[in-house]
């Protein structure tokens, strides 16, 4: 208590601060952290505030002067330059010198006798001698003496002059400064945490021979084309041995035929568990070769962490204590009453051997990391205990800060956000079920303009092996293009499940949003060259994303006005406005829609009478626009979206030639 | 860490919780505290949640079952029944029995074999034996045995029956329950903290003899009329000796005439300081008699805590270390450069003798408490250090929980809110400068429907000795009535500075919102019987507040629709809807305004075809209304407001007689 008696400055309402500082915010290397806080004191004294930050293992804080905004609010920012954890906090203090100088000027202008005031200033200068940099002390002493001296005119010009101001501001007297009581943290990922382009593919459906189980080698032959399409992450569903007991048949049939291959998520057989490879895919060498080949093509292989077992999984015999036992001695299978999933034994996170189980799952993760896998899509994390994920991700990222975890939790919003808070790098979202303009605007506002955006990094998927949404079933090719553009321009992280997506696969189980003849339960043959496929368009689209830094961030999304309920109009820009992207999407896959968009030319630094060029990067069409309101028309059967790059350096009519 | 491994339940987003629990919320005796939180766990298990609370010095928590609302949100509430501090926190746990029972029903209905399921239930019952109340154990054991027994039909009926459910819910198995990590607090004041009616009056202007300085005895003679007007707090500006050095003259003139009486806020002379009484007001016995007489009339005397000194204050000689010294040896006077206030020496809250100064100011407060004063209006608290107030109010309320502090901080919003957080019971507001419908709706929404309402209790003043707002200068008698009604119906705490208010005093310093010939600097003679005075109206109005509990709370305010920008329409109701008040105010003091109000009859439980009576408690007019939309018309020259009590117990036409 006593030491705080004279701490007059209050620091409160600090943003970002997640759940009172219980959780870090997220950034990638090269991003900035903007911190705001209310900083004020009693009375009329002037306060100053600093933002302090440091990377982990660095001893000393770096200090940034905060800027006053309005209404006692201050702002500062810093850049994160390496992976790992950064810390930040704040400091605020009564700035006696600034207070004195401000008051001195008013008194001098009002013609008051300033002799005593100058002496007060001199004593503040004297007080600072013990704090100032050694090389500044001599000069400060001289200036202090001038304030005290007989030459009033000189003293006054020193008092209000830049030299003294700068020297005093350099080493402020932080007597009784208030340090914010918390040190807040930032988890800094590599850039791929924020900008990534995922391609999901079942390796067993990669054979070019009809009816044959594909292998890692088969998949390897497809890598150049996957890379050409512009993907940088190739995510494989589980590659482990598949259980036989209660194996599911085609279309999730409860009874399998002898030749049914089973679901890759039914992990474990006498051939091994989570660190083994399904023998029909190849061996560990084949896998490592695939990882290397992907790397050579600029891609990374991502694996699935699906922490569950079949009755045939080695853990069942080796660690029966990790499973729940029923009173009849049987192991408890998964269920969602009245449904039973007898092919799956969930791990019991309430086992008495908690740490044993956790360490085993960590060792699985580390095993694959050592095989070169640094990206994991985590299956149903919301059905495993939160403390486990917080522990696992913390342990892994301490040693491997470049590892990325994608949370596949399609569940209630607070559960999804909790998983993001406790460490998941990216998260699946409700994007797949958002359709109308209003739905997009509300959901994206929540994801990009609330505190959520500080810890939850969305990853948008138009489809997954589990979800064939209604609009793709009935919307035709244009619906696929529309969803592709929405996914990859609204969110800087997105992915598709291929080749179902680029081949426009749209046959569903009747009345459901699930694929008919799903690859989850059988091997599919795909004709990658079938007519109307989206491979070239995807290559163009991912190229646009790669070449335009504005699309490599999600939090910069802004929606703009357009007077048609079926048109969605939004933009993204880099901070320096060097790269401005404007997107118009026709949400109606069946009809041409047109309307007037309102371009925020003021925000973009464009005069009302200055023409500017919008260059559609998808179609290569170019338009000269003027002023805020401009006309657009989109026939979905041609192309359901414009992705404009705005080029504003048009000074004279003749400059148009430069662009056209 | 290890002990939390299996704590699967998350508790977050707890409301109310001020600044991460740094500050208490506020209630008065008899109010309830409604607590909400997100409580959830991984997977599909059912969770349960409890709200725990206790009064200070009570050892054990009381426990209230929380109710699920939606989207993982839970709610619970408790009543505070005595002054002092209460604490609350939360507990959430996986409810294994409820989970089992829910699943059991589904499996039973789906026709599964339930024998093993019943054994699982039996083991849950067995687990509970160690937790259950002694008197329940025998029966639980019997029920458990039935579940395990051969009579399947009986076992099933027990499994889903009420008896087992109730017994199990009574003593839930909180294995691995999560306790919220914070204990949050509530400061509970006496009811007057929330419902009070203040009358400010300068005792020295209380004489009935022209030109004579009034005394406590003179003021005592006015008490019956002040009580008749319905006030319950008589607040006196400082009653201490007034300094002579640099005394201000009439109308704040920098030079006083010899007969000028000075400002009561210029505290301290050779006759004493903050614990002395101005000799011309009387002596301590007179003061104590005044306090007693007020008490007999149902009123309390409130004093001003104005912690500042004149150059003549005894502290200046006794404790020069409590003041700032200038380099010329003089003591630093108050200033707001270039303005100087040489009649005031501020106390230096950065003195090296911080605790000495603080203890002295505490002793001043305790001195007056011992004279029977339990309510303090604190002058300019925002010019003294925040830690001082937090300490002082904490110290005082520990020993005297019935003391009320009103913060007179007319300053920036965050400073005002900070003072409320650190302990002030009530606060002055921006009400005085809010005029339009939109301004009222926005400001009152902030005060009553945000977290602010948990710690900031507004006190609305139409005027103060410092402020004669523009609308009272020009708006005529009807503006006074309008502001009275607004102040005392929007806010359950309000006050007026009299007799300037009830006598419609509206002469201002030219171009300012300050009184001409302000009582702050001179003695005024008031003709309390002058024509048009508001004394009777105020008595009626305060009677309405006293008789209608809906008006004794502020957080229950709701604005409703009315299709006229000059009409403000709002209501307040008790939780049980026994008392419903609807207020319509004409904000235009010059013209009749009319419009259609939309009464939220659904909220009030009134059928669309059911007539109801609105009884204007100001005018005694009665109207039968039907449905939502009803017509109102207000001529401000007659009366600028309706204060309706809504009476809805009209069943048949003939019932009207009961009301009419």
> How far is Cα B28 from Cα B84, in angstroms, rounded to an integer?
10
Angle between helices B134-148 and B115-128 (to 10 degrees): 160
Q: A651: which residues sit within 8 A by CB, 6+ positions away?
A: none
Strand blocks (E) in A104-243 = 178-179, 184-189, 196-200, 233-235
Catalytic residue among B36, B200, B408, B502: B408
* ipTM at complex level: 0.95
Residue B443 pLDDT more than 50? Answer: yes
pLDDT band at residue A652, thresholds of 50, 70 and 90? low
- Contact predicate A153/A51, CB 8 Å: no
pLDDT band at residue B652, thresholds of 50, 70 and 90? low
Active site residue B126: no
> How far is Cα A87 from Cα B466, in angstroms, rounded to an integer?
48
Residue B71 bridge partners (DSSP): none
Q: What is the pLDDT of residues B409-441, one digit of tens each?
A: 999 999 999 999 999 999 999 999 999 999 999
Residue B633 bridge partners (DSSP): B594
Q: Is the dihedral of CA A362, A364, A366, A372 positive or negative?
A: negative
pLDDT band at residue B1, thresholds of 50, 70 and 90? very low
Which residue is listed with tokens 């795909």? A526
pLDDT band at residue B660, thresholds of 50, 70 and 90? very low
Chain B residues within an 8 Å CB radius of A42: 349, 382-386, 415
Catalytic positions of A are 379, 408
Residue B51 pLDDT more than 90? Answer: yes
- Contact predicate A471/A439, CB 8 Å: no
Query: Which residue does chain A place closest to B119, by CA atoms?
Result: A327
- Tell me which residue in B330, B337, B387 faces A107 most closely, judged by beta carbons: B337
pLDDT band at residue A414, thresholds of 50, 70 and 90? very high
- Contact predicate A485/A541, CB 8 Å: yes
Enter the DSSP assignment of A416. H
Residue A656 pLDDT more than 80? Answer: no
At B263 the three-state DSSP class reads: coil
- Tell me which residue in A110, A176, A413 faces B338 most closely, judged by beta carbons: A110
Mean pLDDT, to the nearest integer, of A159-164? 96
Write down the pLDDT at residue A175: 83
Write down the pLDDT at residue B3: 53
Order of strands across the sheet that contains A10-15: A10-15, A32-40, A73-79, A67-68
> How far is Cα B84 from Cα B80, in angstroms, rounded to an integer?
10
Q: A150: which residues sit within 8 A by CB, 6+ positions away?
A: none
> How far is Cα A23 from Cα A612, in angstroms, rounded to an integer?
44
A354 to B6: CB separation less than 8 angstroms, yes or no: yes
- Contact predicate B186/B80, CB 8 Å: yes
Residue A653 pLDDT more than 70? Answer: no
Write down the pLDDT at residue B579: 97
CA A507 from centroid of its chain's CA atoms: 32
At B560 the three-state DSSP class reads: coil
Residue B658 pLDDT more than 60? Answer: no
DSSP-assigned letters across all residues of A7-36: ---EEEEEES-BGGGTB-EEEETT-EEEEE
- Tell me which residue in B20, B330, B358 faces A20 most closely, judged by beta carbons: B20
Catalytic residue among B36, B136, B300, B379: B379
Write down the pLDDT at residue B132: 93
> How far is Cα B483 from Cα B562, in angstroms, rounded to an integer?
19
- Contact predicate B143/B164, CB 8 Å: yes
Residue among B188, B182, B178, B189 nearest B22 (CA):
B182
CA distance B39 to chain A (A): 9
Residue A579 pLDDT more than 90? Answer: yes
- Tell me which residue in A6, A338, A418 faces B112 most closely, judged by beta carbons: A338
Q: A218: which residues sit within 8 A by CB, 6+ positions away?
A: A203, A206, A207, A208
A337 to B106: CB separation less than 8 angstroms, yes or no: yes
- Tell me which residue in B42, B71, B414 faces A383 most closely, judged by beta carbons: B42
- Contact predicate A460/A429, CB 8 Å: yes
Write down the pLDDT at residue B6: 80
Cis bond before residue A478 (omega within 30° of 0) = no
Q: A96: which residues sit within 8 A by CB, 6+ positions away?
A: A45, A124, A127, A173, A175
CA distance B198 to chain A (A): 27
Mean pLDDT, to the nearest integer, of B80-108? 97
Write down the pLDDT at residue A1: 43
Enter the DSSP assignment of B515. B
Mean pLDDT, to the nearest integer, of A450-463? 98
**Burial bucket for residue B370 (CB in 10 Å: 0-12, 13-18, 19+):** exposed
Chain B residues within an 8 Å CB radius of A327: 116, 119-120, 123
Cis bond before residue B338 (omega within 30° of 0) = yes
Chain B residues within an 8 Å CB radius of A8: 349-350, 385-387
B385 to A116: CB separation less than 8 angstroms, yes or no: no
**How many residues does this entry show for chain B?**
660
Write down the pLDDT at residue B650: 53
A106 to B354: CB separation less than 8 angstroms, yes or no: no
Q: What is the pLDDT of residues B462-484, one digit of tens each?
A: 999 999 999 999 999 999 999 99
Element (H, E) at A507: none
> How far is Cα A516 from Cα A507, in angstroms, rounded to an integer?
6
pLDDT band at residue B39, thresholds of 50, 70 and 90? very high
Write down the pLDDT at residue A648: 79
A327 to B119: CB separation less than 8 angstroms, yes or no: yes
Mean pLDDT, to the nearest integer, of A179-205? 98
B413 to A71: CB separation less than 8 angstroms, yes or no: yes
Percent of chain A with pLDDT over 70: 98
Chain B residues within an 8 Å CB radius of A328: 116, 119
Residue A649 pLDDT more than 70? Answer: no
């Amino acid at each position: 208590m006593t030491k705080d008696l004279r701490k007059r400055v209050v620091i409160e309402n600090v943003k970002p601060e997640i759940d009172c500082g219980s959780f870090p915010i997220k950034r990638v290397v090269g991003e900035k952290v903007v911190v705001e806080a209310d900083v004020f004191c009693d009375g009329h004294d002037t306060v100053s505030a600093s933002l302090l930050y440091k990377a982990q293992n660095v001893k000393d804080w770096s200090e940034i002067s905060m800027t006053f905004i309005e209404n006692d609010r201050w702002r500062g920012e810093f850049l994160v330059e390496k992976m790992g954890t950064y810390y930040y906090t704040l400091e605020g203090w009564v700035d006696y010198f600034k207070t004195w100088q401000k008051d001195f000027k008013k008194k001098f202008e009002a013609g008051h006798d300033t002799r005593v005031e100058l002496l007060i200033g001199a004593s503040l200068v004297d007080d600072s001698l013990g704090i100032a940099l050694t090389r500044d002390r001599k000069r400060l002493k001289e200036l202090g003496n001038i304030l005290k001296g007989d030459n009033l005119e000189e003293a006054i010009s020193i008092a209000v002059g830049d030299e003294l101001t700068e020297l005093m501001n350099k080493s402020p007297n932080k007597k009784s400064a208030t340090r914010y009581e918390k040190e807040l943290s930032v988890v800094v990922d590599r850039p791929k945490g924020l900008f990534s382009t995922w391609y999901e593919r079942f390796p067993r459906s990669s054979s070019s021979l009809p009816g044959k189980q594909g292998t890692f080698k088969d998949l390897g032959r497809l890598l150049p084309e996957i890379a050409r399409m512009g993907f940088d992450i190739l995510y494989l569903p589980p590659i482990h041995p598949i259980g036989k007991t209660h194996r599911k048949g085609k279309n999730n049939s409860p009874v399998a035929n002898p030749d049914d291959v089973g679901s890759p998520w039914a992990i474990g057989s006498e051939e091994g568990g989570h660190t083994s490879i399904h023998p029909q895919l190849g061996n560990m060498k084949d896998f490592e070769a695939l990882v290397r080949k992907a790397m050579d093509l600029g891609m990374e292989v991502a694996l699935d962490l699906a922490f569950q077992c079949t009755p045939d999984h080695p853990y069942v015999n080796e660690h029966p204590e990790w499973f729940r036992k029923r009173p009849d001695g049987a192991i408890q299978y998964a269920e969602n009453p009245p449904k039973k999933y007898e092919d799956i034994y969930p791990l019991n996170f309430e086992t008495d051997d908690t740490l044993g189980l956790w360490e085993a799952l960590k060792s699985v993760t580390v095993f694959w990391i050592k095989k070169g896998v640094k990206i994991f899509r985590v299956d149903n994390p919301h059905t495993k205990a939160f403390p486990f994920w917080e522990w696992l991700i913390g342990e892994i990222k301490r040693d491997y800060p470049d590892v990325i975890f994608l949370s596949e939790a399609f569940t209630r919003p607070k559960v999804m956000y909790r998983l993001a808070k406790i460490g998941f790098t990216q998260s699946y979202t409700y994007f797949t079920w958002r359709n109308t303009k209003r739905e997009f605007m509300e959901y994206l506002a929540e994801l990009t303009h609330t505190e959520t955006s500080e810890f939850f990094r969305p990853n948008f998927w138009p489809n997954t092996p589990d979800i064939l949404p209604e609009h793709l079933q009935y919307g035709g090719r244009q619906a696929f293009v529309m969803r592709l553009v929405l996914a990859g321009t609204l969110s800087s992280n997105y992915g598709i499940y291929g080749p179902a997506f680029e081949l426009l696969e749209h046959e569903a189980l009747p009345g459901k949003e699930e694929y008919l003849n799903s690859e989850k339960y059988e091997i599919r043959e795909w004709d990658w060259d079938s007519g109307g496929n989206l491979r070239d368009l995807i290559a163009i689209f991912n190229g646009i994303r790669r070449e335009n830094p504005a699309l490599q961030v999600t939090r910069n999304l802004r929606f703009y006005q357009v007077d048609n309920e079926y048109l969605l109009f939004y933009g993204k820009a880099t901070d320096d406005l060097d790269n401005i992207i404007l997107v118009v999407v026709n949400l109606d896959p069946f009809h041409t829609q047109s309307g007037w968009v309102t371009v925020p030319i003021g925000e973009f630094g464009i005069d009302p009478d200055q023409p500017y060029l919008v260059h559609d990067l998808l179609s290569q069409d170019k338009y000269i626009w003027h002023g805020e309101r401009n006309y657009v028309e989109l026939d979905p059967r041609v192309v359901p979206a414009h992705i404009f790059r705005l080029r504003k350096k048009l000074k004279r009519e003749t400059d148009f030639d430069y662009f056209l």
